Chains A and B, each alone.
Chain A
């Protein structure tokens, strides 16, 4: 019996209001691999990621986690997954520390790193108890990215993680992704940036499908 890949996507399709947003998406991802989803604006990159996280239900096709359909192993799949969306889910009235504490609260697989250490790791030491409305967009993104330091989840789904991040932030993030891959993790991300990572594969979404038929 051949080992089934960590993540396998079979003939995935998504329709909304009778227009097909995604069609015949086939992917497979093994541990230690990173998949960069490419495509023009509006080609369905975010939709595909949200389908993978199960926040959206596909109209056809299946997503298999270690060979099992994700609806059959929902708890295992979701607790082994981390998703950082287009919006960083940062509450403006809470401080960076409170935001991060809440974000990792529902996470099941975490390491021993404290919240202060994680915020320090993303360069936010000194900003931990300031309300987030006083922070910049890039710093909001950094608060969300601090989850990557604490998470022990295998599958990471990152939607445009490099948005609003400065140069040091980008190289820090690349380094963190590489560490995660070396430990046997896997990443699916959308980005227009050229990444210099090992085991990087690309998947292109054709933009014609995004058009209303």
Chain B
């Protein structure tokens, strides 16, 4: 039994990674959005590095959140359209495991690239040096939370033709604690405070999401598939 639970997770993870690789342009769109919009900030606000440094952490976090929101919409959409979701619902394996595999693939193709690209944006927005490591840590944990909670919204809205706005309304309240503690981690470090407590809370949020979100997604998919 343990073996079959495992295979459900890795099979769907590999499949979604392969699908993302085949549609590289689409998979890269959230990363491109993240970088493009962030380059607009110095143009729109001020190129003055002292002022930019103050808002850099918050801006990078808001961009990361929006970029994730942009991509999470399609997590189940194509599977719903071509009948793969129906097959997912009737796998003998426990449904949360393949779901977690799909969410992991989503994070590896959006959250992780965003995290890795963030030092570049830090440089553009003159983020103080002390902020880089906390930013990488908080974004890695935080974007995983965003993928997990976003998946719940995506599962609830998958059967709606234009579910994008409703998805945002559903998940943005859930994203609030993530962005609060994510930016706190970076600003604490810049101000010379101990930045581990907010990061620990982010870690706790991640642990809770990893345990609960796949169950919620599985439940939501069963409800929406009835429509």
Contacts and interface: CB of A to CB of B under 8 A. Distances in A.
Contacts of A68: none
Contacts of A92: 82
Contacts of B226: 16, 56-57
Interface in B76-109: 78, 81-84, 86-87, 89-93, 98
B83 A53 contact: no
B212 interface: no
Interface stretch (B14-22, B112-120, B159-167): B14-22
Interface in A63-108: 74-75, 78-79, 81, 83, 85-94, 98, 102-103, 105-106, 108
A91 B8 CA distance: 18
A177 B222 CA distance: 30
A55 B89 contact: yes
Nearest to A16: B226
Contacts of B227: 16
A90 B93 CA distance: 20
A91 B23 CA distance: 12
A212 to B, nearest CB: 16
Which of B11, B15, B23, B222 is packed against the most chain A CB atoms within 10 Å?
B15
Interface of B: 1, 4, 7-8, 11, 15, 18-19, 22-23, 78, 81-84, 86-87, 89-93, 98, 222, 225-227
20 contacts: A53-B90, A55-B90, A55-B225, A57-B226, A78-B92, A79-B92, A85-B86, A88-B83, A91-B82, A91-B84, A92-B82, A93-B22, A93-B23, A94-B19, A98-B18, A102-B11, A106-B8, A106-B11, A106-B91, A106-B93
Given A53-B90, A94-B18, 19 more contacts: A16-B226, A16-B227, A50-B86, A57-B226, A78-B90, A83-B90, A85-B83, A86-B83, A88-B83, A89-B84, A89-B87, A91-B78, A93-B19, A102-B15, A103-B87, A105-B11, A105-B15, A106-B92, A108-B92
Interface of A: 16, 50, 53-57, 74-75, 78-79, 81, 83, 85-94, 98, 102-103, 105-106, 108, 131
